[in-house]
Amino acid sequence: MSVTSTDLEKKDIKGLLIKQAIPASVGILFMTVNILIDTIFVGRWIGSLAIAALSVVLPITFFISSLGLAIGVGGSSVLSRALGADDREKALNVFAHQVVMTFGISSLFVIFGIFFGESMLLAFGANGKIMAPAKEFFIPILLAVPFQALCMMGNNVIRAEDKSK
């Protein structure tokens, strides 16, 4: 499934774009279905208050995870060029920096969230009855964010290497 510079010169760009877009689209579809199923289970067995609490907590964690996406997209550009130039050492160096930056920055946000979580939840709309379950969900979800950010970063690295399937 590797796309070479010869492919870019000789093959239909539309076909190559579709070839790259389908794995990404399938991945997004699976994430969406997962969130939908989780919401159904939470609403059915825990209640609507839990869904309200998650609707406050998840945007915070998505924001932090999106930093992994940003680092992945930016680093993948450099990584692709290094791989295209057959500079494996530079590619490995870029990847290492991406991992350290993603894990480091997202971990700093986790530490910030542990100490200032209630203020963050208030800023995102948790109040009254929603605050207690939001606090309950916040820390466990927050602790998983660095790993989610690494996955988002890694997804772009896989695409840069043209290893997506």
CA distances (Å), 70 to each of 5, 18, 67, in order? 25, 22, 5
Q: Report the pLDDT value the prediction gives residue 19, as an integer from 0 to 100.
A: 78
Instruction: Write the pLDDT tens digit of every residue in 83-93.
Output: 888 899 999 99
Q: Residue 139 above 70 pLDDT? A: yes
Between residues 132 and 8, which one has the greater pLDDT?
A: 132
The predicted pLDDT at position 32 comes to 84
Q: How confident is the model at residue 1 (pLDDT cuts 50, 70, 90)?
A: very low
Domain boundaries, the chain: 48-160
Q: CB within 8 A of 61, min separation 6: which ones?
A: 141, 142, 144, 145, 148
In the structure, what pLDDT confidence band is assigned to residue 164 with cuts at 50, 70 and 90?
A: low
Mean pLDDT, the chain, rounded, equals 85
Let me know the angle formed at the C-alpha of 19 by 68 and 23, rounded to the nearest 5 degrees.
45
Residue 28 has pLDDT above 90, yes or no: no
Amino acid at 80: S
